[in-house]
Structure 1
Amino acid sequence: MGKFAPLHQGHQLLIETALAEMDEVIVVIYDCPETTNVTLNIRSNWIRRIYPKVQVIEAWDGPTEVGDTPEIKKKHENYIINNLKIKGISHFYSSEFYGEHMSLALGAVNRLIDEQRKIIPISGTKIRENPFALRHYLHPLVYRDLISNIVFLGAPSTGKSSITSRLAEEYHTVWMPEYGREYWEKHQIDRRLSLEQLVEIGEGHLQREEALLSQANKYLFTDTNAITTYMFSLYYHNKAAPKLVELADRASSRYDLVFVCDLDIPYENTWDRSGEANRKIFQKQIISDLIVRKIPFFLLQGDLETRVRYVKDILNKYSKYKNLLNLFR
């Protein structure tokens, strides 16, 4: 039992030891909004995905008090035995003081694992202070869920690359360049790509983006996504391959925040672009698609410095796993 906020190698040592010694393993994980914004279902799914043989019980109404007092001990014992009605436990695994009183209450063997943190010298408190510096103690699935993936959309020549690279520098993290442009420059014929090649852009972008999430420091700033590639497919072919449609649909819920770069900066008419008139049309199509998909977005206007200040103001109010409406309160 515990908060697993977040799940780290010390917890994994505990779980893996229990799995090696027992035929069945139950993990009770508590709701703890006072400790972390990462919701209980996210934390419990870490364990389910990494250890599918473990039975996970979510203690949404469990006691939140922590301490070595008779009253607090009794609350936890009553909750496990009377509320969750857990019985037949032969061994109680922990690395905390509560292992002694919980094992006595359950009539189980008190199995303490690395109580002094000599094997895995880390704690959830330390990791919460600086997850980026201590990410080597975290499973990739866990670390990925701690990163806010922020995407910037907009027609060509609206400043997406400029602001994503600048914000990455400001926040000492990485950014995801527009893979479609790189691919287009290598593979275009007469300024066109096939339906299949547009799918390859969507898949390639996603692969690179996933890799960068493990390197990011709190935020990953992403330039465009599969929805943009889908819009290009409709623009040039009047249709999209089923796989690209699927990638665009997945992108609808993939990002924590969405910013749309507006048209109020000068158009750069480079050889690889199709003109300012098409930029205006494409911008309208992108915004319309976001509205249809019910994806909330922030519109970025002004010069680069104004846009950067606006995004930073949003990020100062934003907290992953909290209601986005809190930004406006």
Structure 2
Amino acid sequence: MAPDKIFRHGLIVGKFAPFHKGHQYLIDRALKDCGQLTVLVYANPDFGAMPQAVRAAWIKALYPDITVLQPLDPPVDTADDFTHRDYVRHYLLDKRIEIDAVFTSEDYGDGFANHLGVTHRSVDRQRLAVPASGTQIRADVHAHHHLLDPAVYRHFIQKIVLMGAESTGKSTLAKHLAETFQTVHVPEYGRELWEQKKGQLELADYVQIAQEHQRREDEALKAARRFLFIDTNAITTLALSYYYNGGALPELHAIARNCISRYHRWLVCADDIPFEQDGWRDTEILRTKMQRMILYDLTERGIRFDYVEGSLAQRIATVRRLLDGPLA
């Protein structure tokens, strides 16, 4: 054990739902006093919106040098104190984990440590250093996002992708939705590269479009609040690759498949607005054909989507209803 450490091996147990800055304060304090630190993450029932594996991954990503474990079949949260304490005691024995200190910010800390036969270190019990609680944050995670590390908060941002053929109003709607919901949007990268190459794209260019577009999505999450609106994705890029180049590379197919689980909500912009020829687009006939291709592809992949149509104001109103509704 390092000479500046008080304890050889410390333990922290919690739900971490979500993992907030109060938890980080507790871990940081434990790391100052312990040569080694183990964190147990569990809840029963688990949290559907942030399951145990996700919560453990947050901690491991922010603290790669500590041990993060996910006990299986823990007692229900409503079980008595003795049941929980004894479960942890037997878990540690089974895993041959020997600790000499428990760190908590809870009233149960003394009894828990006594049951394990180790020292208890109480940290910020009155929540003065970091006034945060999981219950408080779960009630409105977006209002309390400042209590979460950005890497954790990104989990709660809903990625809303806008689909549709060219000149169906995706770009305009994405921009205005970002303004309406006071967040950011991701413009279509494919259009940018199309103009740079004067419309002369090769199959590999479509892969680059899909990869760069997703990279920009990930980057935009850092500035988003509650929602991130995204203009187009790799499924549209795949359709364009086939239309203009007669095929697509396997890498593009793989990226398109991964889109199925990448977004929280899919919106398809209707082709009921006047076609706007800006010098780069094809024809209105292509728009109709491409729209059908996209709708067919989404249906074949089993992707549930909502249709938005009418004027810009009508479309924004539709999205407002959808995002404020029971599936929000």
TM-score class, shorter-chain normalisation, is 0.7 to 0.9
Paired position in structure 1 for 2:105? 95
Go from structure 1 to structure 2 and tell me whether the alpha carbon gap of 1:59 and 1:95 turns closer, same or farther (over 3 Å shift): farther
Query: TM-score, normalised to structure 1's length?
Result: 0.83
CA distance in 2, matches of 1:114, 1:211: 34
CA distance in 1, matches of 2:298, 2:71: 35
Q: Is 1:227 matched up with 2:274?
A: no
Q: Is 1:160 matched up with 2:170?
A: yes
Q: 1:132-163: per-residue Cα shift (whole Å, max 9, x none)?
A: 56545433331110100010100001111222
Letter paired with 1:47: I
CA distance in 1, matches of 2:56, 2:175: 34
Q: Provide the alpha-carbon RMSD of the alignment.
A: 2.8
CA distance in 2, matches of 1:297, 1:46: 30
CA distance in 1, matches of 2:189, 2:123: 46
Report how far residue 17 of structure 1 moved: 4.4
Paired position in structure 2 for 1:64? 77
Paired position in structure 1 for 2:206? 198
Query: TM-score, normalised to structure 2's length?
Result: 0.83
Please list every run of 5 or more consecutive structure 2 residues that lacks an aligned counterpart in the other structure. 1-12
Q: Is 1:300 matched up with 2:308?
A: yes
Letter paired with 1:248: A
Report how far residue 251 of structure 1 moved: 1.6
Paired position in structure 1 for 2:125? 115
Paired position in structure 1 for 2:9? none
Go from structure 1 to structure 2 and tell me whether the alpha carbon gap of 1:60 and 1:262 turns closer, same or farther (over 3 Å shift): farther
Report how far residue 82 of structure 1 moved: 6.2
Q: 1:221-254: per-residue Cα shift (whole Å, max 9, x none)?
A: 1111122112211111122233323322222210
Paired position in structure 1 for 2:57? 45
CA distance in 1, matches of 2:249, 2:48: 41
Go from structure 1 to structure 2 and tell me whether the alpha carbon gap of 1:177 and 1:58 turns closer, same or farther (over 3 Å shift): farther
Paired position in structure 2 for 1:55? 68
Q: Is 1:143 matched up with 2:160?
A: no
Alpha-carbon contact 1:147-1:213 (below 8 Å) kept: yes
Would you say how many aligned residue pairs link Structure 1 and Structure 2? 312
Moved more, 44-53 or 263-272: 44-53
CA distance in 1, matches of 2:257, 2:313: 32
Determine helix, strand or coil for the equivalent of 1:252: helix
Q: 1:177-231: per-residue Cα shift (whole Å, max 9, x none)?
A: 112222222x123x22222322222222112211111111111111111221122
Alpha-carbon contact 1:164-1:175 (below 8 Å) kept: yes
Q: 1:266-288: per-residue Cα shift (whole Å, max 9, x none)?
A: 21122111101111111111111
Alpha-carbon contact 1:40-1:58 (below 8 Å) kept: no
Letter paired with 1:289: D
Please list every run of 5 or more consecutive structure 1 residues that lacks an aligned counterpart in the other structure. 66-70, 321-329
Q: Is 1:188 matched up with 2:204?
A: no
Report how far residue 84 of structure 1 moved: 8.5
Alpha-carbon contact 1:48-1:56 (below 8 Å) kept: no
Go from structure 1 to structure 2 and tell me whether the alpha carbon gap of 1:61 and 1:310 turns closer, same or farther (over 3 Å shift): farther
CA distance in 2, matches of 1:228, 1:175: 17
Q: Is 1:3 matched up with 2:12?
A: no
CA distance in 1, matches of 2:62, 2:259: 24
